[in-house]
Amino acid sequence: MTSQYGFSSSFVETVAGFTAGIVSTLVTNSVLVYVVDRSSSRFGGSLRIIRKIYYHEGGCAAFYRGLTPNLIGNSTSWGLYFLCYSGLKDSIRIYRKEREQILTSSDYLLASGSAGVITSVLTNPIWVIKTRMLSTGSHAPGAYSSFTSGAKQIYKVEGIPGFYRGLIPALFGVSHGALQFMAYEQLKLFRLRSMNTMGSTESNHLGAERVLGNVDFFAISGLSKVFAGSVTYPYQVIRSRLQTYEGHLIYRGAIDVFSQVWAQEGIAGFYKGLVPNLLRVLPSTWVTFLVYENTKVYLSRLAQNPLNTSY
């Protein structure tokens, strides 16, 4: 569907997702330089890793190693994801011939899961390069000096399959996004209903229903991320270990990673770094969804009043 001034819903979703990916990466990249130390699960390990990176990898600049693949990966992933997610939700409504029908939890799971599969397949090469850049010191032998050099080296040594290491765990990890977006959408609906129920008298008087604000998006996105992250964290451990620089030498595949972690570390190994991970991803989640929702509002208003840009 295209607006009067040419802004289709696909364009709005893509631009909003792309912008959200760029902004969240620039704001939170220093926090993203965190790879769980496989040799230790002791309390305080995160601070020890941070100090090690700071003193041995070049100070504050070390925390921005991998910025380029992060920018490319996050902006591309979010742009593709929201484009596919929106399109799939519209397809479900059209299939039912009831475009304004409220989707169910299973509909959100289907749409977000399918969007996640498409996005994972298309962007996996970017995340392989990013993970390897961040899992080795900048001065380590064989370390990738840049995004392009990493791509060339992977192609030379491992060929095309090297770009898709960790894809199977990533596809299993689609469940994370599916659960997160299901929770996000349902919490938005719940919040809207509660707001409009409590303020029904005022809404009728003003002739308009209340809408969600930034505080609502902040709380809802955080709650949905914690929920999904806690449920699906083990797959992230498996995927990260497969994608590390020496992953192809240590592990034969996802099942081998599972077996080794279980044998050497027990069930706790699959949740190593969970709290730091949640603390790491929450700022990015908050920024992503706040920018995404506000960009959509801006583009909608711009489409309605193209000559007025003072929003």
Q: Which stretch, 41-45, 108-112, 170-174, has highest mean pLDDT?
A: 108-112
Specify the range with the lowest mean pLDDT, choosing from 90-94, 137-141, 249-253, 261-265: 137-141
> What are 2's strand-pairing partners?
8
The whole-number pLDDT of residue 142 equals 61
Neighbour count for residue 30 (Cβ, 10 Å): 14
At 27-39, the pLDDT tens digits run 876 544 444 444 4
The whole-number pLDDT of residue 15 equals 93
At 235-261, the pLDDT tens digits run 888 877 887 767 777 888 888 888 888
Residue pair 294/22 in contact (Cβ under 8 Å)? The answer is no
Specify the range with the lowest mean pLDDT, choosing from 96-100, 153-157, 187-191, 306-310: 306-310
The band of 4, judged by pLDDT with boundaries at 50, 70 and 90, is very low
The whole-number pLDDT of residue 217 equals 96
The whole-number pLDDT of residue 207 equals 47
CA distance 254 to 233: 15
Answer yes or no: is pLDDT of 219 > 90.
Answer: yes
Helices 274-304 and 67-95, packing angle to 10 deg:
60
The whole-number pLDDT of residue 20 equals 93
Specify the range with the lowest mean pLDDT, choosing from 4-18, 44-58, 178-192, 226-240: 44-58
Cα 213 to Cα 43, 101, 188, 191, distances in angstroms:
38, 23, 11, 11
The whole-number pLDDT of residue 36 equals 41
CA distance 119 to 147: 20
The domain segmentation of the chain, as residue ranges, is 9-304
The whole-number pLDDT of residue 52 equals 67
In CATH terms, the fold of domain 9-304 is: Mitochondrial carrier fold (1.50.40)
CA 87 distance to own-chain centroid = 19
The pTM of the full predicted model, rounded to 2 decimals, is 0.71
Average pLDDT, the chain: 79
Q: For residue 168, give both structure tokens.
A: 């199977």
Q: Any residues with CB less than 8 A from the CB of 280 and at least 6 apart, and which?
A: 31, 32, 34
Q: Which residue has the higher pLDDT, 60 or 214?
A: 214
Answer yes or no: is pLDDT of 190 > 50.
Answer: yes
Q: Which residue has the higher pLDDT, 100 or 72?
A: 72
The whole-number pLDDT of residue 82 equals 94
Q: Percentage of the chain with pLDDT > 70? A: 73
Nearest 5 degrees, angle CA 89-CA 96-CA 18?
Answer: 10
CA distance 25 to 11: 21
Q: Percentage of the chain with pLDDT > 90? A: 27
CA 84 distance to own-chain centroid = 14
Neighbour count for residue 268 (Cβ, 10 Å): 10
Specify the range with the lowest mean pLDDT, choosing from 131-140, 158-167, 279-288: 131-140
The whole-number pLDDT of residue 258 equals 87
The whole-number pLDDT of residue 39 equals 42
Q: Which residue has the higher pLDDT, 81 or 146?
A: 81
The whole-number pLDDT of residue 32 equals 44
Going by C-alpha positions, the residue among 279, 282, 276 that lies closest to residue 49 is: 276
The whole-number pLDDT of residue 50 equals 63
Tell me the three-class secondary structure of the chain, residue by residue: CECCCCCEHHHHHHHHHHHHHHHHHHHHHHHHCCCCCCCCCCCCHHHHHHHHHHHHCCHHHHHHCCHHHHHHHHHHHHHHHHHHHHHHHHHHHHHCCCCCCCCCHHHHHHHHHHHHHHHHHHHHHHHHHHHHHHCCCCCCCCCCCCHHHHHHHHHHHHCHHHHHCCHHHHHHCHHHHHHHHHHHHHHHHHHHHHHHHHCHHHHHHHCCCCCCCHHHHHHHHHHHHHHHHHHHHHHHHHHHHHHCCCHHHHCCCHHHHHHHHHHHHCHHHHHCCHHHHHHHHHHHHHHHHHHHHHHHHHHHHHHHCCCCCCC
At 108-133, the pLDDT tens digits run 999 999 999 999 999 998 888 877 77
